[in-house]
Structure 1
Amino acid sequence: MTGNEALSADLYQLTMLQGYHQQRMDDIAVFELFIRKLPACRGFLVAAGLEQAVDYLRNLRFTPADLDWLSGTGFFKAEFLQWLRHFRFTGDVHAMPEGTVFFPDEPILRVTAPISEAQFVESRLINIVHFQTLIASKAARSVLTAPGKTLVEFGFRRAHGGEAGIFAARAAYLAGFSGTATLGAGRRFGIPVFGTMAHSFVQAHPSESEAFEHFARANPDNTVLLIDTYDTEGGAQKAVELASRLKSSNIPIKGVRLDSGDLADHAHKVRRILDAGGLTGATIFASGNIDEYTLARLQSAEAPIDGYGIGTRLDTSEDAPYLDCAYKLQAYAGIPRRKRSEGKATWPGVKQVYRRFDADGLLAGDTITLAEIPCAGRPLLKEVMRSGARVEPLPSLVQIREYAKDQLSRLPAGLRTLSDAAAYPVQVAAELRALTERMDKETLPR
């Protein structure tokens, strides 16, 4: 989505706002966005979506059409709707830079603003940051599993909606993928685009050989042939035969694609056919329900595959389709606040996260502490908005990608595994624990 998104919210955001407005409650509130726990078999997460979150906050406003519709619901008073005509986000935002590796309970985004503003933006902020963080974290596992391979995001058609498909491409590229098959993401974010052909193109022709030649002559600089429509090894042989016919036209066979069957076995056989036919420089690209677990098996089998199209299982994060994401009030009117709901208790107060590194530059441990009490390590949350405006331009997607690469390179071996990841040490500072204990003693239910 682009442009105005004021109604990308839950009803209860506005019913609460009406309550705050009626009671003239508009002191400064601090909300923090965090993940409560890691999905099974995951050792870390990668923060993503900050750029779109900031854009949402900067452009937030209600249009006359929005207000007319809200009036028609019957939930809201005319005076409150009149007040909404001038509603803008005027607060501050601190956040971990996109591409930062993080862990449960660590605030990755903090909003400081009048409570009406800080409360209202909850749903859309979670929606943006949760999804891109989910996909970036999934994509990073493939990047770590298949270093040096070309990885292309292939999942737009099975993403849960058009925006999800576009944002998935961005998140995957941020995490280290080589590019996307989605043109809209290429145009919007400058992500390199990749593509070959579909089986239907081959089926529409009288013969596979004719389909290959027609495609090559139509796309002389991007001749990657899908060879498994009928018989994979037979298709590879036809690619070799076509290469000799195309020499006089200076059209090279750039590569072939496999999309079915035992990919490792086919890749070994196809590589031998291509090499024997003089196509030693032609790449092998594979697709078809691939994820990080598939990559690990293919890497173990030493499959001679140069690149992968990874779609459905990435764009839906098939093995972990959601994160336990929360956006909670931590302070209001200068007073720390703590939620004590069973299984959902929060650490109170305005917080910062400090990170320590070992002698080799690898992550060694984090500390969650009160923002006004510094501790050893590097602070992770940075100021990105002040009084409703950006403090400075956000980094480009290419810069974010390089930062994410550095972050992943600093993961200790125990966090890189696809299962049974080691527990990363995240400490809660003594001062924060003391505040929590004091509040639990002093703040009794009323």
Structure 2
Amino acid sequence: MSEATTTDLYEVTMALSYLREDMRAPATFSLFVRDLPPGRGFLVSAGLEPVLDHLSRYRVGRRDVEVFARVLRRPVEDLEPLLGLSFDGQVRAVPEGRLVFAGEPLLEVTAPLPRAQLVETYLLSLVCHQTAVASKAARCVLAAAGRPLVDFSLRRTHGPEAGGQAARLCAMVGFAGTSNVAAADRYGIVGAGTMAHSYVEAFASEEAAFRAFARTHPGPVTLLVDTYDTDGGVATAARVLKDLGLGPGCGIRLDSGDLGAQAHRARGALDAAGLAEVRIIASGGLDEYAVDRLVREGAPIDAYAVGTKVGTAADAPYLDAAYKLVEYAGRPVMKLSSAKVTAPGPKQVFRGPGLRDVIGLANEEPPEGTEPLLRTVMRGGLRTEPPDSLAAARARFEADLAALPDEARRIDRPVAPVPVASTRLTALTAVVRHRIEERTGASGRRALP
């Protein structure tokens, strides 16, 4: 059984029907987010690299067909038309790290209709989850205002695989490290970690725990100081660090309570002990809102470790995304359902200065002063270029973030840029709508996605 069975059942039933009806002409599907979640001024395109990995190895095997048959309670021979199907199409996509907005295609898939249909669910799952987490992490980067961030999310994400994705995405948008050992090794991210409260509790005293930890790890250490009394823990940590001649690169970690007030007292105690170079690291249920508040209040915190709320994109854990057919056999198509109207035809996003975007048709000439965002990343089921790097995605992210309007950068009540439709896309939408309404008598709200 392969990844082909990780899909919604209706993808299988539709693909089978297409094959039996000999509907194998090229189809283009567009994956986009209808509306940004509340509290978001932008999204960060993410998940493309795993998408391309998935499509590269996609193939419906014998065991997959047997699974389909069991779930549908039908003879295996009924599902055999699906056997051997692989992805042999084209993908045009926004590279990872670029900022995107509502209605803009993050990727478009063109392939024979059954093949393009079968991959829908897996692609939506990859892109939606990873774009949501990357966007949350990016807002933490904005809130930290240059202070280092570390990903602590693995133990609270929705499964270990999601934790690995979160570590990668956090690194993509500028985090300095991760606690996730496997992700650190796989993606070349700096590993970071301290100790747990259980470690301190296992020793007869806090000081004994600190000294033992420093003996095992003679390099720079970070000591968790709030197991019992935070002020007392800071004093103990300062004494141990001075006795052992440790200082540069070392730190203390605050994990609970009023982090701002504790940081001020800790900074004063460390400075008085001659340990001005010892850093203060804060953790404990943090997200961009808490980090932004601490930064604005002037808390003397040198780095932040964020986990639960970022790895799960807690305040916006899903995206209202869709994978919609926009063209079949050269015929532009669209959906007219109320509040879910789509625009027909393969598309391109043209980006101008200040991230002012125009959504147009894929075969349009770029408006003057703009660049096309979607590029061909797969053709004939094969990548058109080597796998992208985190460094390249991070560079794209940083460039787009620098150009993002101030109102969209705000942590509280951001206002996102709104793309506009090109004249040609608007005209095609009107023509296709008219044809559908003439043929079916349907009507829908006149709006683009």
> Shared topology, TM-score over 0.5?
yes
Please state how far the C-alpha of 1:64 moved relative to its aligned partner. 3.3
Identity, in percent, stands at 45
The equivalent residue for 2:314 is 318
- Which letter maps to 1:191? I
Residue 5 of structure 1 is aligned with which of 3, 6, 14? 3
Q: 2:261 aligns with which of 262, 265, 271?
A: 265
What is the rounded CA distance, in whole Å, between the counterparts of 2:155 and 2:188 in structure 1?
20
AA matched with 2:289:
Y
Residues 343-390 of structure 1: CA distance to partner in whole angstroms, max 9, x if unpaired? Answer: 111011111010110xxxx32x11111111223111000000000000
> 1:254 and 1:50 mapped to 2: Cα distance?
38
Q: Give the root-mean-square deviation of aligned CA atoms.
A: 1.6
Q: 1:108 aligns to what SS in structure 2? A: strand
Aligned match for 1:102, one of 91, 100, 103 = 100
On the 8 A contact 2:348/2:359 being kept in 1, the answer is yes
Tell me which amino acid in the other structure corresponds to 1:17. A
| Structure 1 residue 253: Cα displacement | 6.9
> Does the CA contact (< 8 Å) of 2:61 and 2:84 recur in 1?
no
**2:120 equivalent to 1:127:** no
1:154 aligns with 2:145: no
In 2, Cα distance between equivalents of 1:80 and 1:285: 60
Determine which of 281, 286, 291 is the counterpart of 1:290.
Answer: 286
Q: 1:345 is aligned with what amino acid?
A: V
Residues 252 and 372 of structure 1, relative CA distance in 2, 3 Å threshold: closer
1:370 aligned to which of 339, 361, 374: 361
Which stretches in structure 1 are left out of the alignment for 5+ residues? none
SS of the equivalent of 2:4 reads coil
Q: How does 1:342-381 map to 2 (within 5 A)?
A: 342-357=338-353, 362-363=354-355, 365-376=356-367, 377-381=370-374
Corresponding residue for 2:445?
none
In the alignment, the residues of structure 2 paired with residue 64 and residue 184 of structure 1 have an alpha-carbon distance, to the nearest angstrom, of: 32
Name the CA distance, whole Å, in 2 between partners of 1:423 and 1:51: 26
**Deviation sequence 1:314-344 (CA, Å, 0-9, x none):** 1111111111011100000000010111111
Query: Aligned AA for 1:257?
Result: R
> How many Å separate the matches in 1 of 2:69 and 2:419?
47
CA contact (8 A) 1:243 1:252 kept: no
Instruction: State the AA in 1 paired with 2:83.
Output: R
| Separation (CA, whole Å) in 1 of partners of 2:429 and 2:72 | 41
Cα distance per residue 1:158-189 (max 9 Å; x no partner): 11111111111111111111121111211222
Pair 1:171-2:169 in alignment: yes
Q: State whether residues 142 and 295 of structure 1, in contact with CA within 8 Å, keep that contact through their aligned partners in structure 2.
A: yes
For 1:208-247, what aligned pairs fall within 5 Å after superposition?
208-247=206-245
Aligned counterparts of 1:260 and 1:78: Cα–Cα separation in 2:
57
Q: Is the 8 Å Cα contact of residues 43 and 101 (structure 2) preserved in structure 1?
A: yes
Local SS of the residue matching 2:150: strand
For 1:406, the equivalent position in structure 2 comes to 399
- 1:288 Cα deviation after fit: 0.6
- Structure 1 position 42 matched with structure 2 position 40: yes
Note the C-alpha offset of 1:252: 6.2
1:177 and 1:279 mapped to 2: Cα distance? 26
TM-score (norm 2): 0.94
* Pairwise CA distance, 1:264: 0.6
Partner amino acid, structure 2, of 1:168: A
Q: 1:77 Cα deviation (Å)? A: 5.1
The structural deviation recorded for 1:425 is 3.6
Task: Choose 435-444 or 106-115, whichever is displaced more.
Answer: 435-444
What's the offset of the Cα at 1:16?
0.6
Query: 1:284-325: CA deviations, max 9, x gaps?
Result: 000011011101110111111011111111111111111101
Q: 1:139/1:240 Cα in 2 relative to 1: closer, same or farther (>3 Å)?
A: same
Match of residue 186 from structure 1: 184
Amino acid at match of 2:310: L
Q: Once the 2 structures are TM-superposed, how far is the Cα of residue 421 of structure 1 from its aligned partner?
A: 2.2
What pairs with 1:24-43 in structure 2 (closer than 5 Å)? 24-43=22-41
Q: Does the 8 A contact of 1:38 with 1:44 survive in 2? A: yes
Q: Which position in structure 2 is the counterpart of 1:64? A: 62
Q: Once structures 1 and 2 are overlaid, which stretch shifts more, 413-422 or 222-231?
A: 413-422
Shift of 1:76: 4.7
* Shift in Å, 1:245: 2.3
Q: Distance in 2 between matches of 1:175 and 1:19?
A: 42
Partner of 1:6, secondary structure, is helix
Indicate conservation of the 8 Å contact 2:15/2:114, yes or no: yes
The alpha-carbon deviation at position 74 of structure 1 amounts to 4.3
Cα separation, 2, equivalents of 1:253 and 1:216:
13
Report whether the alignment pairs 1:428 with 2:426: no
* Structure 2 unaligned regions, length at least 5: 442-449
Verify: 1:445 aligned to 2:432, yes or no. Answer: no
Distance 1:251 1:303 in 2: 21
Q: Secondary structure of the residue that 2:91 maps to in structure 1?
A: strand
One-letter identity of the residue aligned with 2:388: P
TM-score, normalisation: structure 1: 0.95
Deviation string for 1:2-56 (max 9, x for gaps)?
x941111111110111101111111000001000001112111110010000000
CA distance in 2, matches of 1:131, 1:35: 12
Letter in 2 for 1:288: G
Distance 1:41 1:69, change over 3 A: closer
Q: Once structures 1 and 2 are overlaid, which stretch shifts more, 414-423 or 13-22?
A: 414-423
Contact 1:169 1:182 in 2 (8 A): yes
Going from structure 1 to structure 2, the CA distance change for 1:324 and 1:201 (only over 3 Å counts) comes to same
Cα distance in 2 between the residues matched to 1:398 and 1:102: 19
Cα distance in 2, alignment partners of residues 417 and 42 from structure 1: 9
Give the aligned partner of residue 384 of structure 1: 377
Task: State the aligned residue count.
Answer: 437
State the partner residue of 1:281.
277
TM-fit CA distance, 1:75: 4.2
Q: Is the 8 A contact 1:369 1:428 kept in 2?
A: yes
